[in-house]
Amino acid sequence: MSVTSFAAIVIGSYEVNLDIFEISRKYGIRRIDQIRHRIELGRQPFANSGRISPEMVDELCEVLQDFLKTIRMYRVSNVRAIATSAVREAANDLFVLGKIRHVTGLDVQILSNSEQRFLSYKSIASIESRFNDMIRKGTAIVDLDGGSIQISIFDKSQLITTRNMRQGSLRVRERLQALESETMAYEALVEQLIRYDTSSFRKMYLKDRKIQHVILNGDFLSETIFRDPKHRDRASRILDRDSFEKWYANIVGKTENELAVSNNISLENASLLRPSAALCHLIVTELDPSQIWMPGTSLARGMAYEFAESTKLLKMSHNFGNDIITAARHLARRYAVSRPHIENMDMTATAIFDTTARIHGMGGRDRLLLRIAVMLHDVGKYISYTDIGENSSMIIMGNEFIGLSNEERELVALAARYTYEPLPEYEELVLESSLDIPRYLKVASFAAIIRMAIALDRSHMQKVTALRAELKEQKLVLHADVRGDYTMEKGLVRDEIAFFNDVFGVQPVLKIRQSV
């Protein structure tokens, strides 16, 4: 039996973790060792200073050196290290990463919020039968960390929307610490702090949608609440509302000392248990589910799951790429984009992308990003028919797409913008974006393909019923089955030939066949 080892290092807001996993087809993902080191890296970035102190960076480097010794002891060659909101929000984040690289040799990746939440949600999906059963009906995944809360809504096995609230357990504790001694109702202060945000979320995104299940997840919940052996069976972590209220009642009004003793945790963890429980309780109250599941998974498990997925060590039943597409589709609907139009464009754009693959050299991930750009290129019309491209770009950058990095979201936004505007030279565009040359070329490729797809359905009447593309010498022949008068579209396709030819070095040729 083939077994592959994987080490996951997570630099979080209040602790640094090392998890070592064994992955095999027979046993799936098994954690064989776990080391935790308490260090509140988020305390300074979440407060006014905004920087992680040199002393904390030195301590972090020492911890990581010890982690690497353990990794070498297990002879693990597959290692990934990530940092979350504490380092992400630190004003000196690049200096922190530089020091880590110099001292330890580790290349640490700072995850965007959406990438972090995607890993967390993959960790839940690794418990496939329970996860897949729950998301068939209205389900909210509430992912809590030290910096913020992410709420993602699933229904009919599709990701509907996801939203982030910058009110995590450590951030809330720091904001309310000075007031804690002035009140006997600490939990009420926490709820008052975020009540408007949760209420607004319910009104904007739920409306008539009924939430049957809430999944509460987060490393703190996993490593604090579920240390008790009675919680190790995941089936025992499913609570009805009455049981959840009893769990919360055992925390409300307790001092940190009392919580530390009753939960067998440190005082530092007890100081985070109170805001964590209050935040979860308010969200559960707002969403009003009949069942609450606390799966007890972690970011590290999500990293192992993603590694197993990418290396094809395990076959995953859930289609994560489809979740990103459906979330983009729901966002387009919210901005009144014509669904038949973008579905028709999706058909033609992907046909062009696939046929020109040997020219542009892009892969499956880029195809996914192109599809998202197709679905969202028109959202700016919701604001105004003036400056559609710029408006679409701002809407895309103002929304979060779970699973996309900030760089990928920017690529999609710029592709949408330059679908409607002339594409600037690289030297000009790089001054107002983070693009490097390869991503600039992708923006150009996406814009050229989307412009051609728009021209093919400019009437929004879906006259193209089928499209087959083929490369023939220096030409891209588009064989289109069409219905109705196609005179206008033929003229508009000719208008896009020059730009397409500049980008890809091939000339599109439209050949139409009238369908019945």
pLDDT of 279 over the 80 cut:
yes
pLDDT at position 439: 95
Q: Is the predicted pLDDT of residue 209 greater than 90, yes or no?
A: no
What's the pLDDT score for residue 223? Answer: 58
Rg of the Cα atoms in the chain = 25
pLDDT for 389 beyond 60: yes
224 pLDDT higher than 70: no
Q: What is the mean pLDDT of residues 354-383?
A: 95
For residue 282, give Cα distances in angstroms to 91, 142, 187, 242, 421: 31, 11, 10, 15, 45
In this prediction the pTM is 0.83
Burial 153-181 (b: 16+ CB within 10 A, else e): bbbebbbbbbbbbebbbbbbbbbbeeeee
Q: Which residue has the higher pLDDT, 145 or 371?
A: 371
Asked whether the domain spanning 127-296 has the same topology as the one spanning 4-113, the reply is: yes
Split at pLDDT 50, 70, 90, the class of 229 is: very low
> Residue 295 — very low, low, confident or very high, per pLDDT cuts 50/70/90?
confident
CA distance 295 to 498: 55
Percent of all residues in the chain with a pLDDT value above 70, rounded to a whole number: 94
pLDDT given for residue 402 in this prediction: 83
Does the structure show a pLDDT above 70 at 350? yes
User: What is the residue-averaged pLDDT of the chain?
Assistant: 89
Domain 321-514 is of which CATH architecture? Answer: Orthogonal Bundle (1.10)
| pLDDT score of 65 | 98
Mean pLDDT, range 376-400, rounded to an integer: 93
According to CATH, the superfamily of the domain at 4-113 is: ATPase, nucleotide binding domain (3.30.420.40)
Judged against a pLDDT cut of 80, whether residue 414 lies above it is answered with: yes
pLDDT in the model for residue 48? 63
Could you state, in order of their start, the residue ranges of all structural domains in the chain? Answer: 4-113, 127-296, 321-514
Beta bridge partners of 110: 83
- Residue 3 to residue 78: CA distance in whole angstroms: 12
Q: What pLDDT is attached to residue 322?
A: 85
User: 238 — phi, psi (to 5°)?
Assistant: -100, 120
Please give the structure tokens belonging to residue 86.
Answer: 């504490």
Q: What is the mean pLDDT of residues 78-86?
A: 95
State the average pLDDT over residues 258-271. Answer: 83
Query: Is 203's pLDDT higher than 90?
Result: no
Higher-pLDDT residue of 313, 1: 313
Q: Which of 94-98, 226-230, 314-318, 378-382 comes out lowest in average pLDDT?
A: 226-230
Q: At 133, is the pLDDT very low, low, confident or very high (cuts 50, 70, 90)?
A: confident
pLDDT at 232 over 60: no
Please name the fold of domain 127-296: Nucleotidyltransferase; domain 5 (3.30.420)
Distance between CA atoms of residues 125 and 317, nearest Å? 9
Pair 453, 349: CB distance under 8 Å: yes
CA dist list (Å): 197 to 147, 207, 288, 399: 15, 15, 16, 16
Does residue 183 contact residue 189 with C-beta atoms inside 8 Å? yes
What confidence score (pLDDT) does residue 27 get?
85
DSSP 38-100: E--TTHHHHSSS-S--HHHHHHHHHHHHHHHHHHHHTT---EEEEE-HHHHT-TTHHHHHHHH
Highest-confidence segment of 147-151, 182-186, 364-368:
364-368
Going from the C-alpha of 228 to that of each of 159, 214, 239, the distances in angstroms are: 32, 22, 16
Please report where in the chains the tokens 């195809």 appear, as a residue: 367
Do the beta carbons of residue 115 and residue 100 sit within 8 Å?
A: no
Report for 132-141, 204-213, 384-393: range of highest mean pLDDT: 384-393
